[in-house]
Amino acid sequence: MKKLVVVLILLLPAPLGLWAIDDISFNDPVLNEILRAQQLNSRSWASNEAEIEAGLLKYDISRSSLYPQISAGLDGSGTNSFLSTSPAASPEQTYDIEIKNNYSFSLTPSLAISQLLPSAGTLSGSFSNTITGEGIEESNYYLSPAEDTEYSNYLYFSLGLTQPLYFGKAYDAARRQINDSLEISRLAWCDSRNSLIIAAVTDYYSLMQSAYRLELVQSRLTANTEYEKRMRREHSLGMWTSAQLNTATAARLQAEADQLKAERAYTSARERISILYGIEIDLDPDAVDIEMLPFSFEIDELRSLLYEGNPESGIIAKQKSSAEADVILAEKEAAWSFYADSSYSITSGISQAGFTDSLSLSIGLSMPVVDGNAAKKNIELKKSRAAKLEDDMSEQRKIAAANLQILLDSIELSGKLNDIYTLQEETAAFDLEKGGLELELGHITQKELIELQAVLENARLSILLNKIDYNINVLTVYRMLGIDLGMLTGISEGA
């Protein structure tokens, strides 16, 4: 049995440990073909991959709030108005018509920056520069237009700080929630992928089992048919009674019925693989064999790995961590908040000799006064949720430990049964070989030889079914430990 080597893979950008397996893989080319087809064609596999991609996108979106937020703008406006005047006059008099065009325009580029601080406060600043121009364009019926445009420039700077008077590591809590969200997505993704891999292996084993059963039934039908023919010939010679002949016929008919059932089971297993994985598999029953997966953990090591890697417990642990962070953020929202704002502006005109500037500063406190005790109840609600998740995590670890023990007992039993079934197969093979010689000597009947063959076939079927149970239980244990089963297939490098 190969030595099982366990390594810890660190997944970035968020630290997440998944146990993976070195030096172990499925050597069955048909199974590997099904697993590869699952990656390419299974809608469930594609859906699971989409879920982790969505989780990564949500992580990136949430993480972006921790970085500087910068926005820029450019605004412009313009107005234009016309005014025409003419003095009252008699019909004999002629006066010039005066036309005035009042116009103005402005252009304002701006920049705003804000940054979440480790103290959970927010530092913000802005800058804008407004350039304006205005003038009057005058003309009359005889004179050409005259323009006189005045320009002015307005610079504005502001800097502000909003700081909650709460020092419970709210910034770290926000970061923790973001990382917990990603790790929950990764744990769920790996566990779901492991479940899909186990489902594909189970489907393949079902096909293998049905193919092997079909071969056994066909072999039994052939033997029973030949035996019935021989009985009919000998019955015509008076060697057998009608009742004995009817027994042989009934055995042949039962074998035919069993063959129909076995063919239906085999066809159904093939169709299932075709529908789910988009691949046609025609299994050769003579090539049916299963290699038992290595499994050499110590019980203390298994319990340690279960505590650290069980995906169900891990998801609840991260949910608990996020809920505890939620308590901190709720306490921050209910706390007093200090704010300070300052601004500085400069106004100058192009036609003026100087400029005008101004500086302002404001500070203050904001606090909830009357809210119907909503803030306090909200904090209590979040604390109760965190406490419940603590209980859920403890309960899930107990359930996982109990399920692990059941699986380990089954694995141990399968190992012992494999030795027994192997010995039974060797004994049955020897008895069948000996029975063939005794049949030639006339010491046993053809029916007795068929029964010896059935014993051998049943022993081989027991070995096959026991190996299937063993491997599925081993894979289930690996899944419970959070081991990446994609490493078993050689088709995945992990996330």
- pLDDT digits 0-9 by tens, 338-348: 888 888 888 87
SS3 content of the chain, % helix, strand, coil (to 5): 55, 25, 20
The answer to whether 274 and 280 are in contact (CB under 8 A) is yes
Long-range Cβ pairs for the range 265-269 (8 Å, 24+): 265/210, 265/213, 265/214, 266/207, 266/210, 266/211, 266/213, 266/214, 268/210, 269/203, 269/206, 269/207, 269/210, 269/211
- Looking at residue 425, its pLDDT comes to 93
- pLDDT digits 0-9 by tens, 214-235: 988 998 899 889 888 988 888 8
Cβ atoms within 10 A of the Cβ of 364, count?
A: 9
Alpha helices in 278-310 (DSSP H): 299-309
- Looking at residue 389, its pLDDT comes to 93
Cα dihedral 111, 116, 117, 120 sign: positive
Element (H, E) at 337: strand 337-349
The answer to whether 129 and 151 are in contact (CB under 8 A) is no
- Looking at residue 80, its pLDDT comes to 76
Cβ atoms within 10 A of the Cβ of 487, count?
A: 22
The ranges of the chain with pLDDT < 70 are: 1-26, 82-100, 137-149, 167-168, 287-289, 294, 296, 349-355, 370, 488-495
- Nearest to residue 147, comparing CAs of 155, 158, 136? 136
Distance CA 216, CA 465 (A): 14
Distance CA 242, CA 350 (A): 127
- Looking at residue 399, its pLDDT comes to 93
- Looking at residue 88, its pLDDT comes to 53
Amino acid 200 reads A
pTM: 0.75
Distance CA 276, CA 269 (A): 11
Strand partners, 345: 156, 358
The answer to whether 200 and 488 are in contact (CB under 8 A) is no
